[in-house]
Amino acid sequence: MSIKTILAVLTTKESVAQIMPLAIDLAERNGAHLTGIHVEASAINYAGVGMTFAVKEFAALRAAEQRNSG
């Protein structure tokens, strides 16, 4: 059974440099499609999700997002 699709999970800038060359090589050798995905936590509360943040926790989460984004 051959590999048809590869999902590369990219968690940090550093992981991109490590993961992508390996994922590209694997995809090329198998004639597979390569998809990269990067997911971040968000402090945005969407209606209907049933999740709320206290002001203190929201501020801490936002500060963490800003530190990790750049």
For range 5-15, the mean pLDDT: 89
Q: Taking Cα atoms as reference points, which of 36, 31, 40 lies closest to residue 20?
A: 36
State what percent of residues in the chain have pLDDT above 90. Answer: 37
Tell me the per-residue pLDDT of 34-53, one tens digit each, with 9 for 90 and over: 999 988 777 666 665 555 55
List the domain boundaries for the chain.
Answer: 1-39, 41-70
Please report the pLDDT score of residue 20 as a whole number. 93
Q: Taking Cα atoms as reference points, which of 40, 30, 37, 39 lies closest to residue 4?
A: 30
Positive/negative CA dihedral, 44, 45, 47, 48: positive
Tell me the pTM. 0.54
